[in-house]
Amino acid sequence: MMGISLGWGWLLLPVCQALVVPREVSGRAGERLSLHCWYPRGYEDYNKYWCEGASWHSCRKVVETAGREAPQQHGWVSIQDSHIFCVVLLTVQNLSEADAGSYWCGIERTGRDLMEPVTVRVFPG
């Protein structure tokens, strides 16, 4: 009998029920840094963004999706949304020590945005 066996692998896939991000990511100066922000189903067409700052209410948007799946870029930072997998991919090219700090992965919505913090650490190249 032939078929596809999922085994326990499905447990590794995030369930689209909450905004899920790594609490901390790190990389070396000069290299590329990537991270995923998983979001709840139902937010596919919402604007997702990456903002910088210690506080959620005063962070500065670095790059945003404008609700589209097409990659968006601002300087060295790019963002791409995959509606089918409920995930946003953030990439920083040519990471520098100045990129270290507090960031937020966010979803713009009426009322308070859905936001989760991420600390970026950069080691010398």
Cα(54)–Cα(56) distance, integer angstroms: 7
The token duo for 9 is: 């692998």
User: Per the domain annotation, does 33 fall within a domain?
Assistant: yes
Residue 10 and residue 76 in contact, taking contact as beta carbons nearer than 8 Å:
no
Q: What is the CATH number of the domain that holds 84?
A: 2.60.40.10
Q: Domains in the chain: how many in total?
A: 1
**Residue 1 domain-assigned (yes or no):** no
- Sheet-wide strand order for 33-38: 33-38, 87-92, 77-82, 72-74
Residue 16 lies in a domain: no
Q: Is residue 93 part of a domain?
A: yes
C-alpha distances (whole Å) from 66 to each of 54, 79, 80, 81 are: 23, 10, 10, 10
The residue type at 10: W
- Which residue range(s) make up the domain with 65? 24-123
pLDDT < 70 positions in the chain: 1-17
Residues 6+ apart with CB under 8 A from 7: none
Residue 6: its pLDDT value, please?
A: 43
10 within some domain: no
- Whether 77 is covered by a domain: the verdict is yes
pLDDT score, position 17: 54
Tell me the three state secondary structure of residue 97: helix
Question: Contact at 8 Å (CB) between 18 and 115?
Answer: no
Residue 125 is predicted with a pLDDT of 79
Q: At 124, phi and psi to the nearest 5?
A: -60, 145
